[in-house]
Amino acid sequence: MENSIEEMIQDFRSTLKKKGFNITKERELILREVLQRKGHYDAETLYIAMKTSGVKVARSTVYRTLDVLYDIGVVDKSSFGQNQFYYERMIDRAHHDHLVCQVCDKIFEFVNEDIEKLQVQVCKENGFKMKSHSLQIFGVCTQCQEKDME
Amino acid sequence: MENSIEEMIQDFRSTLKKKGFNITKERELILREVLQRKGHYDAETLYIAMKTSGVKVARSTVYRTLDVLYDIGVVDKSSFGQNQFYYERMIDRAHHDHLVCQVCDKIFEFVNEDIEKLQVQVCKENGFKMKSHSLQIFGVCTQCQEKDME
DNA sequence: GTTGCTGCAAACCCTTTGCATAGGA
DNA sequence: TCCTATGCAAAGGGTTTGCAGCAAC
């Protein structure tokens, strides 16, 4: 259940091979960064973080690799209606949806099996073949509601 | 129930006033275009359509006004993960969610009361104050599935 | 007369792309 | 060797912004 980073990198290598991608040190470096990072971030943030910590990699490689990681299911990609993509590792996690606070921009997660089931049903009713889905609820989080009352 | 365009424009004027916006002829022109348009479109499409039909209005005014219309609840705004915003009039319509076909890019709508209720419940459980939400299911529509089999 | 809106063009921001070079298979 | 990936810089595309002139209140 609990895999070490090194084991995950081994998996990654074999998945790349299986899908016809080359194994490169840049892809591994980016994977390492992704694996140790929790929560949501955009490609630019990841790129800057890597630059700052002295890793040599090009911006376009980060963008391209994040999409490879998305392709092979290592990260999730979502957009929260902000015309920008956010990534997040999918390791050891079930699919989840998001509560987006419009005051502090924090993103909270939730899992709701019943909603998932209803989505499957909706697809069945419409003859639609589901590949993925994305549910965001926008509003105000508890903390911001409290701040507002002060 | 069934309001005429002119009645809707009257409502619009009073809403603008109530919210502290000025009433201008550009805003009215854009509202007219929005009211007679069904389905989803981006700001650029609306702008080009207006230009083509001879309406004099600046691109930035269209972009700015669509956001005003969104503010006051005349249009809905969503992004379908394409780094672009899509607008759609909200008149005479219940909230609905979207099935996005990744093959033909068509967008289908559905309404599901049970999902809506579960969302309210999720918010309650998390002490989250919901303002809006957005659910998109990505996949392949019936027609594209059939085409694929040929 | 103020304040807010429009129009224009330029700036912005994130993302993608073209191409020469480097590096896996 | 062949083909894919990288790095760089430049282009792209949708959206936003600064500012002067203009229109609403």
B26 touches strand C (CB under 7 A): yes
Span B86-141, pLDDT tens digits = 999 997 667 889 999 988 888 899 999 999 999 999 999 999 999 889 999 999 99
Where residue A1 falls among pLDDT bands split at 50, 70, 90? very low
- Compare all CA atoms of chain A with the CA of B137 and give the residue at the minimum distance: A133
Nearest alpha-carbon partner for A137 in A105, A111, A101: A101
Backbone angles phi, psi at A128, to 5 degrees: -105, 135
For nucleotide D4, give the residue with the nearest CA to its C1': A22
As a whole number of angstroms, the distance between CA B150 and CA B146 comes to 7
Is there a contact between B130 and A139 if contact means CB atoms under 8 Å apart? Answer: yes
| Mean pLDDT value across chain B | 91
Of all nucleotides, the one whose C1′ comes closest to residue A22's CA is: C24
The average pLDDT across A68-94 equals 88
Q: Is B115 on the interface with A (CB under 8 A)?
A: yes
As a whole number of angstroms, the distance between CA A92 and CA A6 comes to 15
Span A31-73, pLDDT tens digits = 999 999 988 999 999 999 999 999 999 999 999 999 999 999 9
Is there a contact between A122 and B110 if contact means CB atoms under 8 Å apart? Answer: yes
Is there a contact between A128 and B139 if contact means CB atoms under 8 Å apart? Answer: yes
- Judge if pTM exceeds 0.85: no
pLDDT score, position A150: 63
**What 3-state DSSP class applies to B93?**
coil
